[in-house]
Amino acid sequence: MKLFDVYPLYDIELVKAQGSRVWDKNGQEYVDLYGGHAVISIGHSHPYYVAKMTEQISRIGFYSNSIIISGQEELAEKLGRVSGYSDYTLFLTNSGAESNENALKLASFHTGRKKVVAFSKAFHGRTAGAVAVTDNPSIVAPINSTEHVTFLPFNQVDGLKEGITEEHAAVIVEGIQGVGGIQVASDAFLKALRDRCDETGTQLILDSVQCGYGRSGQFFSHQFAGIHPDMMTTAKGMGNGFPMGAVLIAPHIKASYGLLGTTFGGNHLACAAGIAVLDVIEKENLIQNAAETGDYLIEHLQGISGVKEVRGRGLMIGIELEEAVGPIRDALLFKEHIFCGYAGKHTLRLLPSLAMDKALADRFLTSLQTVLTK
All structural domains of the chain with their residue ranges: 14-46+285-373, 48-283
Q: Which CATH number fits domain 48-283: 3.40.190.10, 3.40.640.10, 2.40.10.220, 3.30.450.40?
A: 3.40.640.10
Rounded-to-integer distance, Cα 201 and Cα 166, Å:
7
Q: Per the confidence metrics, is the pTM higher than 0.75?
A: yes
31-35, 90-94, 138-142, 164-168: which has the minimum mean pLDDT?
A: 138-142
Phi/psi at 231 (nearest 5 deg)?
-145, 150
Q: What's the confidence (pLDDT) of residue 159?
A: 96
Rounded-to-integer distance, Cα 28 and Cα 99, Å:
37
Bigger pLDDT: 258 or 106? Answer: 106
Q: What is the CATH number of domain 14-46+285-373?
A: 3.90.1150.10
Q: Taking the alpha carbons of 353, 85, 278, 258 in that order, is the dihedral positive or negative?
A: negative
Q: What's the confidence (pLDDT) of residue 70?
A: 96
Are 125 and 97 within 8 A, CB to CB? yes
